[in-house]
Chains A and B, each alone.
Chain A
């Protein structure tokens, strides 16, 4: 243990220390230094016994171990942390704000062209009657609509989906669990519907057969 670390091993140790950020803060604070020291010992032992293959094998095992255990620790941390419910609600609110723009646009279009009700669409049409505004709208709307929907879906999926990767008798087994959080699920449902509607509209506009 007293030998000077070579450059490769110090780089590997730094990489592993960086990867420890995958664990929750409390766990990292309590065990991060010990885990880094343990990895350092393991790495030097593998290098001593030699072979690049042994070191590569250590990295593969360590990464699989890190993915599986960081997922478990984060999941446990979320369960134990009372602020989580607040965090999930906040994600739902952010999600609703992100879907509100495409929701308004799609609702206004459906009411206007489906039912002939221009209550929502007419003010938008009047606003976009200026050429410069229309140009900006055409440029910005795809990013705001599709990007906002994508972000809202990702954030709320993170809130309701729990992934667990573990090893059972030498085989890597992954499970995905859905947690029933109504607000987040509502954002996912509305966001998915809007996304399908908008993509369907884009497809029909660009690829549909025209008579």
Chain B
């Protein structure tokens, strides 16, 4: 589905979509697992509600960024009714393209002295 398009056709991603892609970059997860991973990774700065999560999942499945995993975990370890999601190759390329786009933006912010090379939050002194 996504193979006929280029990754940058889908940029910029919404913050929720990018966080979901990042969450699935290292392993497949179910919805609640994605929520917890995003919350922990961002220090609770980003909390996905069920509506935001599954609305994004629906669109990302439609765009071919993620797919439902057919493998189910050991029933003793987890609820068999849960649906697990994983990144597609196209989704991985889109996540990479979005990260590159953000990297470019951050470079411009450094050039324009909006960010420092190091320090808390990278903000310049006096802000």
Contact = CB atoms under 8 A, between A and B. Distances in A.
Nearest to A57: B47
B55 A72 contact: yes
A39 B50 contact: yes
B49 A34 contact: no
B83 interface: yes
Contacts of B5: none
A12 interface: no
A23 B52 CA distance: 12
Interface string B16-41: 00000000000000011001000000
A27 B58 contact: yes
A31 B31 CA distance: 10
Given A27-B58, A31-B54, A61 B32 contact: no
B106 to A, nearest CB: 17
Nearest to A35: B50
Closest 7 pairs (CB-CB, A-B): A65-B49, A69-B51, A31-B54, A35-B50, A41-B32, A65-B51, A38-B50
A85 interface: no
A54 B32 CA distance: 18
Nearest to A170: B45
A183 interface: no
Interface of B: 31-32, 35, 47, 49-55, 57-58, 79, 81-83
Nearest to B55: A69
A42 B53 CA distance: 13
Interface residues of A, number: 23
Given A38-B31, A65-B49, 11 more contacts: A23-B51, A35-B51, A37-B79, A42-B35, A42-B50, A62-B50, A64-B49, A65-B51, A65-B52, A66-B50, A69-B49
Best-buried of B50, B54, B55, B79 by chain A (most CB within 10 Å): B50
Interface of A: 1, 23, 27, 30-31, 33-35, 37-39, 41-42, 61-62, 64-66, 68-70, 72-73
A62 B55 contact: no
30 contacts: A1-B79, A23-B51, A27-B54, A33-B81, A34-B31, A34-B82, A34-B83, A35-B50, A35-B51, A35-B54, A37-B32, A37-B79, A37-B81, A38-B32, A42-B32, A42-B35, A42-B50, A61-B47, A61-B49, A64-B49, A65-B49, A65-B50, A65-B51, A65-B52, A66-B50, A66-B51, A69-B49, A69-B52, A72-B55, A73-B55
